Amino acid sequence: MDEITHYIGGERVKGVSGRFSDVFNPATGEVQAQCPLASVNEFAKAVAIAEAAQPAWAATNPQRRARVMMQFVHLLNRDMDKLAEKLSSEHGKTFPDAKGDVQRGLEVVEYCIGAPELLKGEYTDSAGPGIDMYSMRQPLGVTGGITPFNFPAMIPMWMFAPAIACGNAFILKPSERDPSVPIMLAELMEEAGLPKGILQVVQGDKEAVDAMLDHPVIQSIGFVGSTPIAEYIYGRGCSNGKRVQCFGGAKNHMIIMPDADMDQAADALIGAGYGAAGERCMAISVAVPVGDETADRLIEKLVPRIEKLKVGPYTAGNDVDYGPVVTSEAKQKILGLVQSGIDQGAELVVDGRDFSLQGYEDGFFVGPHLFDKVTPDMDIYQQEIFGPVLSTVRAKSYEEALGLAMDHEMGNGTAIFTRDGDAARDFANRVNVGMIGINVPIPVPLAYHTFGGWKKSVFGDLNQHGPDAFKFYTRTKTVTARWPSGIKEGGEFNFKPME
């Protein structure tokens, strides 16, 4: 049985707390490795190393720091298949999806190569007589991040690349469900030229998270995961005086107007609803067709497409649409919510409950489900299912559809499918959700824009990546300078001889 390690002080270090959690192969259901769960002392050791290493890194000029990022991009491309293979084996997602996970992180690293430009300060010449004023962005010091299981490469890179490009040290506490890829990323950063101790990985659960929240040296915390944990981390981190940004769960609605291209909308829903087994914070989990006629046409297009979906292990080839969910508990939670949908009166149009794959009977596979006639009072509408289950809520009008997206407590992403520019524009302007797609089902902003939801999908002020990340990982310092020796007297500089 493999024993996964921490990555502390530039080395793979075995856990010494005596506590471990199982890492599964979700396709077979077998335990493939043990992940160590750090104690408060193990976490404190990483902090001491980071604290000692960070000042020299902050003093390294931004262009040299950017060169490390450049080299890291090269190494990510070199090891893409190796990273994707490990990622699929612990997470369960298909091989192309795993490569996409690495690729979307890599794009943020590419953006961070622009650190010298992005970190340039501001300058006001002659703000007063003989007075200049300038602002600079300085790193925070030792920063930390806590990441979810569903993007074990992308989300750590979204955090550590800007943190490190800005001159901080970064301690990552990844998900204990797929903990290997973050260690590989830390090794590649050092191969790219990063000094030891600037990027460390401490594996763990609540104990390590609480150690990060309470450690006085940690200046900032980034979190991505479920809303209840996001709320907890934001509250405790802020009350400890840290800078905190937390990104939580989602319930993303896609509105289908009567004039939409129905084939395009159905294709989009297949990818956005069932891709990655629905384990994406930007997955569409609610389809809102406007009008019964639109709903009937949509369901008619969706059913044959869903029936064609190929569910299987990542090893079965690139034509697999999605793999297993991450754990048996996740599978039980999804099936429990499906049952609640049936009990509460929704119509189960496609039933994936009996799905089973020959040779993989113990894997955590969940067949695709489609519900129709879901109403807002049902648990399947209110809760994030995080599985291959799409709910259809029929709206009588555009205003009713808009109201559904507006009234839901989550506000990560949403989309509208229409040919009507007025409706699309009105939707984008009025809806209280952070990321909007117009005929685009998963509107994930690219690295040079920022990523973030609204309402209970976020706690904090700044978004992830793009220019916001450079604000989050730096403090502004403003200097007002007067140089009395430079003041002219009678047209001449008043230079005094040096004594």
Cβ at position 473, least distance to ligand NAD in Å: 17
Q: Which residue lies nearest ligand NAD, judged by its C-beta?
A: 225
Cβ at position 66, least distance to ligand NAD in Å: 26
Which of 279/372 has CB closer to ligand NAD? 279
**Residue 492 class from Cβ within 10 Å (0-12 exposed, 13-18 middle, 19+ buried)?**
exposed
Which of 249/324 has CB closer to ligand NAD? 249
The reply to whether 246 belongs to the active site is no
Cβ at position 359, least distance to ligand NAD in Å: 27
Q: Name the residue among 254, 252, 256, 253 with its Cα closest to residue 418.
A: 256
**CA geometry: angle at 364 spanning 378 and 223, to 5°?**
70
Measured between alpha carbons, how far is 26 from 360 in angstroms, rounded to an integer?
10
Cβ at position 172, least distance to ligand NAD in Å: 9
| Lookup result for tokens 């905190």 | 244
Measured between alpha carbons, how far is 169 from 59 in angstroms, rounded to an integer?
12
Binding site for ligand NAD (CB under 6 A): 146-151, 173, 175-176, 205-206, 209, 224-226, 229, 247-250, 281, 384, 386, 412, 453, 457
Which of 229/256 has CB closer to ligand NAD? 229
Cβ at position 282, least distance to ligand NAD in Å: 8
Which of 111/151 has CB closer to ligand NAD? 151
**Residue 3 class from Cβ within 10 Å (0-12 exposed, 13-18 middle, 19+ buried)?**
exposed
Which of 102/281 has CB closer to ligand NAD? 281
Instruction: Kindly list the distances between the CA atom of residue 225 and the CA atoms of 156, 174, 399, 434, in Å, as whole numbers in the listed order.
Output: 12, 11, 31, 17
Measured between alpha carbons, how far is 33 from 22 in angstroms, rounded to an integer?
6
262: its two tokens: 């129905």
Q: Decide if 176 contacts 326 (C-beta within 8 A).
A: no
Cβ at position 330, least distance to ligand NAD in Å: 8
Which of 148/275 has CB closer to ligand NAD? 148
- Give the three-state DSSP class for 392: strand
Cβ at position 423, least distance to ligand NAD in Å: 27
Measured between alpha carbons, how far is 141 from 55 in angstroms, rounded to an integer?
8
Instruction: Kindly list the distances between the CA atom of residue 462 and the CA atoms of 39, 142, 333, 467, 468, in Å, as whole numbers in the listed order.
Output: 30, 19, 32, 9, 6
**CA geometry: angle at 250 spanning 265 and 288, to 5°?**
35
Which of 282/287 has CB closer to ligand NAD? 282
Q: Decide if 133 contacts 121 (C-beta within 8 A).
A: no
Per the residue annotation, which of 35, 112, 246, 281 is the catalytic one? 281
Q: How would you classify the pairing of strands 492-493 and 169-173?
A: unpaired
Which residues does the annotation mark as catalytic?
281
